[in-house]
Each structure stands twice: as C-alpha cells, then as structure tokens.
Structure 1
Amino acid sequence: MQKLFLTLILTFFLFSFDSFAQNSSISEAYNKDVKIRKTGMAILGTWAVGNMITGAIGRNQNTGQRAYFHEMNLIWNVVNLGIAGAGYYFTATGDMPESASELLNDQVSFQKTLLFNAGLDLAYIAGGFYLMERSKNTINKPERLKGYGKSVILQGSFLFVFDIILHTIHSKQSSQISDFLAHVQIGKNQVGIVLGL
C-alpha cells in the first residue's frame, strides 16, 4: 500500500514538474517574442518621431522640392507613429498563448505580415521612382512630385530593411518552438515526444 501511495505521489510530482517545465518554456518563448516586437515598434516609433521633427523643421526652412521632401516625410511618419503605437500597445496587452503550437501559429502569422509589408515597401519604392519620373513630364508642380518621390523612396527603403531584419530576428525565435513541436507526435489516444539520441 505504501509503495502504491509513493508511486502515485512521485507520478503526480513528475507530471506537475513536466507541466511546469512546458509552461515555463512557453512563457520564456512568449516573453522573448514580446520583447522582439516591442523593440521593433520602439525603433519604428523613434524613426517616425525623428522624421516628424526634421520634416516639420525642414518644411519651414526650405523651398521647392526640398520642402516637399520634408513635408512628405512628416505626413508619412504620422502614419508610422500610429502603427508603432498600436503595435506596441497590442503587444504589451496581449495574452500569453496556452500552448506552444498556439504561440507558433501567432509567430508565423506575424512573420507573414512582415513579409507582406516588405512587398508593400517595394511597391512604395517603385511608386517613388514613378513620381520622380512623372515630375520630368509635367508642368503642374513638378518640384512637389520630385520631392514627394524622393521621400517615398527613402521611407519605403527604411521600412523594407526594417521589415526584413525584424522578420529574420523573429523567425530565429519561432524556429526554436518549431523544432520542439517537430519532436511531438500525436496519434489516436496518445501523445508522445521523440527524443533524438
């Protein structure tokens, strides 16, 4: 009877420890994920504020295409600041996923968003070149088109580099969870972990 009781207690502690270890590792991975996202949004927000300040000053101190360049930097980064603020807020107030697979799904979704944004960034850059080219063939405020075009190329280029770097850093984080899940096998009425020796 004592052996059975001792076996039950040991089994309970082993299961509790295993559950704690899994939740602890999910918590650790989630906290790393949150830190990466918050840092990314802080960088985007800093870029936005810097561009808004220099854009406002540059718009007032320049004329012609340089004034329009600064004007578009200011306008563009009002949007960037909104995105950074919302991204930071939703990251900071989000709930921790209950499982590693849920966390991985969230991370993969975020990475897809970053890649989609990188594609948009390339479209912005192309649009900037289009505006600069169009400025050569119009008499209707060509300096504005040229200044706006240069700004859109700059902003699109920054965002492209930002999205690709953030995606690269973030994908390294999610690959750890993916590696863990690759060793989990689910069958009918059973769950197992495959250990590589």
Structure 2
Amino acid sequence: MNPVRQLAFTLGSLLIGGVAMAQRVTPTPELRDFSEQRIRHQKTLGLTLGSFALVNIAVGAVAAGQTTGETRYFHKMNVYWNLVNLGIAGVGLLGSRKKDPEAETLADAVRQHENMKQLLLVNAGLDVAYIIGGGYLRERAETHPDKADQLRGYGTSIMAQGGFLLAFDLVNYFIFKKRGDKQERLLLSASPNGLGVVLPIR
C-alpha cells in the first residue's frame, strides 16, 4: 500500500471511529428519556427510604427514652434498623447522582433497567425473611421469660419494618415494570441493528 492510500485509509478509519463514538455518547431522545426516567425513580427511592429512616430514627430515639418494657425495645430496634436504611438510601442517592443519561447506550440502559427490577425482587424476598425472623423472635419470648420484653419488642419492630419494605419494594418493582418495560420494548424494536446480546425481559 502506497503512503497516500495508507494515509487515506487511516483518516477514514479515524472518521468512522469518531462517528461511532458520537453515536454511542449521543442517545436518541427516546433512549435519553428512558434513562432519565429510571434515574429519577432511583433518586425517588433513595429520598423516600431516607426520609422514612430519618423519621423512624427521630421518633424511636425520643420514644425509647420515654417508654419501658416491650415498647422501649420496639423503638430501640426501629432506630437500629433505620440507621442501616439511612446508609442504604445514602449509597443509592450517591450512585444515582453519578449516572449520566447522555452516556448510556441502549445496552447499558436496558441492563440497568433489568438490574433494578431484579434487585427489587431480591429485596422483596429478603423482606419476607425479615418478617418471618421477627415472628420467630416473638415466638422465642414464650420460652425465654427473662428476655420476653426484648424479644417481643425487637420481633414486632422487625416485622413492622419488614412489612413496610416489602410493600415499598413490590410497589416500586411494579412501577418499574409497568412504565419501563413498555419503553424498553419500543426501544429494542426500533433499534436498527438489534441489541447484540440476549437479555431476559421480565
């Protein structure tokens, strides 16, 4: 290959690569809306869980100092539990702030959407386990009278917190599914070259 043809080939390759890069970082309005909607929803999840946690911590901290017996332990566990919830909400909010809808490809957006649905379902399964665990603590109170108040208080708190989280995760799963799956199908059907990978659509 002579030098002129080699130069032309190199410039052509760079031009094609630049076009491909521009396509990757400039999503269509539909894709951008799909990504932005998911990111907004993730921020709402974090803010809702964080607000719920802060209220529980404030109320629990005050009430634990003003009550006795089973009720005191109930409020104490609410504080402990929601310190964890607050941490989870904070991590989620920080993660959502780093998301850039302009930088997401179709494959990225679909993967993130499916991951969120899967995460919410896994969390729902854990929530059921929390409720069962809380019930188990209350049951143990019958055979441990010396710790009955603590076991019943902690058990009731864990059951209540697990019940809230179960409703929270399931409601948000169905919101993601109903709103996002339709957009996802439209984006995939409109893609001229397909996605290039097989992803489960739940």
TM-score, normalized by the shorter chain, greater than 0.5: yes
Residue 65 (structure 2) aligns with: 60
Q: Residues of 1 paired with 2:136 and 2:30: CA distance?
A: 49
Residue 7 (structure 1) aligns with: none
1:79 partnered with 2:84: yes
Give yes or no for contact 2:31–2:187 (8 Å, CA) kept in 1. no
Residue 50 (structure 1) aligns with: 55
Q: TM-score with structure 1 length normalisation?
A: 0.80
Measured on the aligned residues, the alpha-carbon RMSD in Å equals: 2.0
CA positional deviation for 1:126: 0.2
Which segment drifts farther, 154-163 or 87-96? 87-96
**Match among 155, 159, 162 for residue 156 of structure 1:** 162
Give yes or no for contact 2:27–2:104 (8 Å, CA) kept in 1. no
Gap runs ≥5 in structure 2: 1-22, 195-202
CA positional deviation for 1:169: 1.1
Residue 11 (structure 1) aligns with: none
- Cα gap change, 1:184 to 1:28, in 2 (>3 Å): closer
Q: Tell me how many residue pairs correspond in the alignment.
A: 170
Alignment of 1:1-197 (within 5 A): 23-96=28-101, 97-175=103-181, 176-184=183-191, 186=193
Q: TM-score with structure 2 length normalisation?
A: 0.78
Give the counterpart letter for 1:133 in structure 2: E
- Cα gap change, 1:127 to 1:35, in 2 (>3 Å): same
Residue 197 (structure 2) aligns with: none
CA positional deviation for 1:93: 1.3
Which segment drifts farther, 106-115 or 165-174? 165-174
CA positional deviation for 1:61: 0.4
Q: Residues of 1 paired with 2:27 and 2:158: CA distance?
A: 46
Q: Residues of 2 paired with 1:183 and 1:88: CA distance?
A: 31
CA positional deviation for 1:140: 3.1
Q: Residues of 2 paired with 1:34 and 1:22: CA distance?
A: 15
Larger strand share, 1 or 2: 1
Gap runs ≥5 in structure 1: 1-18, 188-197
Q: Residues of 2 paired with 1:74 and 1:21: CA distance?
A: 45
How far does the alpha carbon of each residue in 1:9-38 deviate from its partner, in whole angstroms, 9 at most, with x for none? xxxxxxxxxx69952221111111111111
Residue 15 (structure 2) aligns with: none
Give yes or no for contact 1:128–1:151 (8 Å, CA) kept in 2. yes
How far does the alpha carbon of each residue in 1:129-186 deviate from its partner, in whole angstroms, 9 at most, with x for none? 0001110111331100000000000000000000011111112232112233035464
Instruction: Report the secondary structure of 2:143's partner residue.
Output: coil
